Amino acid sequence: MFPQSSIPDLAHVIQLAVAPVFLLTALSTMLAVLTNRLSRVVDRTRKLEVFLLEHPERIAQPRAELFTLFRRTVLCNRAISLCTLTLLLICGVIGLLFISALMGFNASLAVAALFVASMGTFVFALLSFLAEIRVASNALESSARQIIRMTDSSSG
């Protein structure tokens, strides 16, 4: 049987849950950014596949780009998975706050452990996101240098 929870106790739990709820909003935005980046990688990969089907003799050109796109896909998927796990852990924090208040037990250690775990997974999600950005930036820089070399050699 549930102990009688008073309205002030419940109001206090709601106050405690506000910060994790805002964190859910921020994480959801991050997840949207990550899925958008993954969509762009998938779209570019499909364009390269069409190019290869139409020009199989020119496989050497897009091969490096396909490898880069594959690396970006792996990193995006990892970041999305870790961000989703972070969201689930934060939901666990919120749920545990309410369950502990309704059932009348001290869940502070479990709440702290879930929160620390969620921050750990979020750190790894951000590191994967940062690695994906680095791979994309390096690929762009490499392409730009190649184009500059081509234009320099054709004009000189």
pLDDT tens digit sequence for 101-129: 888 889 999 999 999 999 999 999 999 99
Task: Kindly tell me if the per-residue pLDDT of 1 is higher than 50.
Answer: no
Write down the pTM of the prediction: 0.85
> Under a CB-based contact definition with an 8 Å cutoff, are residues 27 and 79 in contact?
no
Q: What are phi and psi of 107, to 5 degrees?
A: -110, 20
What is the DSSP code (8-state) at residue 122?
A: H
Q: Say what percent of the chain tops pLDDT 90.
A: 60
Mean pLDDT of the chain: 90
Q: What is the pLDDT of residues 54-102, one digit of tens each?
A: 888 887 778 888 999 999 999 999 999 999 999 999 999 999 999 998 8
